[in-house]
Chains A and B, each alone.
Chain A
Amino acid sequence: MINPFRKGILFGTIISIVGTAFCVSAIFILMVAFITAADTRKDFARDMDELLDTVESTASVACFVEDKQLAAELVSGLLKNRVVSRVVVQTADKELARGERAGSYRADATPEPMVQAVSRKIMSPFSKDKVICEIRMEPDTREANRLVWENIYFTVSLLALQLFLVAAAVVLIVLYFVVRPIRALSNNLHSIDAAAGEKLLSPKEHQGNEIARLTDDINNLTGILVDALQNEHQLRTQQEINEQKYHSIFDNAGSGIFIADVGGHISSFNRSFVLLTHFPVDEHGQSPKLAHAPWRDHERLMEAIRVCVETGANQSVDLKLDTEEPCWLNVILTDSGNDQVQGVVSDITQAKQSETTALQMAVTDKLTGFSNRLGLERYLPDAIRHRHGEPLAMMLVDIKGFKQINGSMGMSAGDTVLKVVSSRLKGCLKNTDWLARLGGDEFAVVLHGVSTQAAAESVAIRIIGAFRQPIEIDETSIASGCDIGIAFYPTDGADLPSLLRSAEFALSYAKTTASKDFQFFMPEMVVTAEQHRKLETELHQSIQRDELRLFYQPIIDLQEGRIVGAEALVRWQHPTRGLVPPDAFIPLAEETDFICNIGLWVLETACRQLAAWQAAGQQLYLSVNVSARQIPDALPPELILEMLKRHGLSADALALEITEGVLLSDIAKGVSWLKELRDAGFRVYMDDFGTGYSSLSYLKRFPIDVVKVDKSFIRDMDEETNDRVLVQAIIAMAEALGLQVVAEGVENECQISLLRQMGCRYGQGYYFSKPIPANEFDLLKQKGIYLPSPKFSCLT
């Protein structure tokens, strides 16, 4: 170990000062020695010169008179000086005097004379420019050298002493002013306890100087350091508390927490993480990886981690676990820097299940359990995509008369019908086909891979067959049917809306076509529909434009052969199409409430005609068709009465024709309406009897006056025995119930003959007259009706 003194400032200072002093001294001493030597020599020479000066005048005299004695005196006088070794007085031609000092050294004896010999030319005392002799004086070189050296020694010693004293003084000063206070400070510093707030005291002698300031600085610094240490300590304590707190939160959190890197290596995870993810706790000491958990789609998680690290944005992924119980986990990833993410795992199985259920609910028809319209919208685009645009057939199936079933038998019956037909419908389909209830009684069927009409048709026929099977509801058997519109993907529509629209066209076409229950979509249907819409618009303007006409088909008393009344039938005189038949516009009007307007117009016109006939003395009645839509609110009995009153008519002049169907929607209301009419004195005709859903019980329940047998029965009665029997039965039954009978569609004498035989009193049909305008009717009335002879019989 190095002696501490040797490392101290004092030692260093001494060494530096002594070293510096030594070097400086050496240089100075050398310089001084040289200077001193030179000075001494100069002094020596000057001394010698001065010596000569003192003797010059005497020498001048001695030489002038060549006085050897005087010269010798002079020489010996000079030789008394210790520095002079030899003196010679020489005149021009002889040596006047010479003297040497015994034991002296001269230049010729020493190799390096430090002082040169001095000679002086002596002038004549009476002539200042005449040299009379020369004095040569040689120095004692040893003496001269001694003198030089003596001077050097003296000067050098003085200088050396001076430097030594200065160095010593500096050392002492440093010791006193620097080293001692520092050592004292150092000792104090060792002995104090700064943490306890003790302060360093500056040495008494150094109050107010740099040492005191240094002490203050040290104290300040110590204060700052102590404060900083205390803060640090507090922070660390707080941090430890926080860490413990967080650790406990981390450990006991209900959510799974983990920290993982981009490679999926987990550096930290908690208990809940293990429980939630079914994480296999590793026995082999392998580093845990996220991949060890039984994710169903592990790659999504890794992708999310990668995105999170790259973008720094939080990521949320829902992942399913491959476990026995279905388990869904939500993982929220937060970038925690250093290519690491924090993940929070929570169990969202319940939420997922309810979400799935809700989704399922949203796309499912509650009643039938099949898909609904939304379900179809979800399904079809996916299906088309998955099957790479494979062709398919879209069928729209509509239950015939469902509205009537709903109305007559109640909503629950309607629901039952829907359930039954939907399951039948499903039974007609392959497993890969898709069934959806679009709403009401409309179903959509998707037949995958069906691209030909033949294939679609076989399925359609199967479905129609299934629908025709009677349905048992509350011990009542209902026979139904369906209309089907078929469109093909991709020819009739490249997406679901257009495909549905095409099928819709086909369906509405099928609905209006009685002969065929299914229709394939054809582009013309769009045109037809367009025309249809145009027609509808024009129809709405028909009354305003006075385009409607009322035609009259006479009703004949078959017994008496006279016209008793007429059925008022509306016709549309279209400005460009000509006369539009009722089939072409009445259903159109019935689709909207415009039929009510037409009904009122018909009534008004009929009343006017009746009034005209009455004025002409004709006793005729008119029967007017009433649409289902008009019953009961659009045509209250008071309105009709008011109208008759206005024209001065009585109630028996007007008959109201209803079909069986019109009453089905709300039987109770329909019956009360009928009763009111009949109480008011109107007669009620049951039109088209025998078609539709009518049962004989209706005849009893509905208060009517006349039954009009449908022309379909009359048309073939002369050839079809069954029809004849039916007509006979209807007539017999009506008779029994006290109802009159009108046969519609009478076209030949044979039919008249038969009807007469059966006891049918009235008839109408082309045999007598087609519906004709009022003026023609008047002509016909005048002309009269020809009836075949009562004896005529066409039966063989």
Chain B
Amino acid sequence: MLRRYFLVCCFAAIPAIAAAADDIVVIVSQKTAVNKMSRDEVINIFLGRNRQLPSGVTALPLDLPSTSPEREQFYSRLTGKSMSEINAYWARLIFSGRASPPSMVHSQEEAMQMVADNRSAMGYVARSKVAPSVKIIFELHPE
């Protein structure tokens, strides 16, 4: 019983730890023909270099809110840059209008929903939030 309690306690602590240590995965809709993407392809899409999937479908990247720790972890693990750097990057591009940042969703669940619903949509969530309606095409492990 005591042992179970200890486990419960441990599990109870998991969500917080998991949020920090959990894999961030890039997801697309199960309907999308793409199964796997490289890091550069993910960067190109999320940082505005191009918005096309390898299948030729226009991609629609989704960003978590700026307060979301997953967003920070995503960019940090993907490009090695902090959020302020990413913001400065976008500030230069926004001025010319040639490229635009990904569209913002309110939560991981919304992201899950929009990806599952839209073939072009492409988002990132913690692995624990992944539902069967999406496909993981790229994984970012904790460092």
Contacts and interface: CB of A to CB of B under 8 A. Distances in A.
B4 interface: no
Nearest to A132: B49
A126 B96 contact: no
Contacts of B89: 61, 125
A127 B95 CA distance: 23
Interface stretch (A67-75, A494-502, A724-732): A67-75
A58 B93 CA distance: 10
B58 interface: no
Contacts of B43: 126
A61 B92 contact: yes
Contact of B98 (A70, A125, A126): A70
Interface in A620-642: none
Contact of B96 (A64, A70, A127): A70
A647 B99 CA distance: 215
Interface in A125-149: 125-127
A16 to B, nearest CB: 68
Interface range, A side = 10 to 19
B115 interface: no
Given A65-B98, A69-B98, A70-B98, A126 B93 contact: no
B85 to A, nearest CB: 9
Contact of A70 (B40, B47, B93): B93
Interface string A41-72: 00000000000000000100110111111100
Given A126-B43, A126-B79, A127-B40, A65 B95 contact: no
Interface string B64-108: 000000000000000111000000010011011111000000000
A126 B47 contact: yes
B98 A67 contact: yes
Interface in A256-314: none
Interface residues of B, number: 16
Contacts of B40: 127
A281 to B, nearest CB: 141
Interface in B18-59: 40, 43, 47-49
Contacts of A61: 89, 92-93
A61 B96 CA distance: 12
B79 A65 contact: no
B1 to A, nearest CB: 52
Interface string A742-775: 0000000000000000000000000000000000
B87 to A, nearest CB: 13
A96 to B, nearest CB: 11
Contacts of B97: 69
Contacts of B99: 65, 67
Contacts of A58: 92
Interface in A462-518: none
A425 B138 CA distance: 193
Contacts of B81: 126
A70 B49 contact: no
B23 to A, nearest CB: 20
B99 to A, nearest CB: 5
Nearest to A61: B92
Contacts of B98: 65-70
A58 B91 CA distance: 11
Contacts of A66: 49, 98
Contact of A64 (B47, B80, B95): B47
A65 B95 CA distance: 13
Nearest to A130: B40
Nearest to A72: B96
Contact of A69 (B47, B49, B80, B96): B96
A126 B80 CA distance: 8
Nearest to B92: A61
A59 to B, nearest CB: 11
B82 to A, nearest CB: 13
Q: Which of A69, A73, A126, A127 has the most chain B CB within a 10 Å cutoff?
A: A126
B79 A67 contact: no
A790 B92 CA distance: 230
Contacts of A64: 47, 49
A326 B79 CA distance: 158
Nearest to B78: A126
Nearest to B85: A125
Nearest to A126: B79
A74 to B, nearest CB: 10
A146 to B, nearest CB: 35
A70 B90 CA distance: 12
Q: Which of A67, A68, A127 has the most chain B CB within a 10 Å cutoff?
A: A67
Given A58-B92, A65-B47, A126-B47, 14 more contacts: A61-B89, A61-B93, A62-B92, A65-B48, A65-B99, A67-B93, A67-B96, A67-B98, A68-B98, A69-B97, A70-B92, A70-B95, A70-B98, A73-B96
17 contacts: A58-B92, A64-B49, A65-B47, A65-B93, A65-B99, A66-B98, A67-B93, A67-B98, A67-B99, A68-B98, A70-B92, A70-B93, A125-B89, A126-B47, A126-B79, A126-B81, A127-B40
Interface of B: 40, 43, 47-49, 79-81, 89, 92-93, 95-99
Q: Which 3 A-B pairs have the closest CB atoms?
A: A69-B96, A67-B98, A126-B79
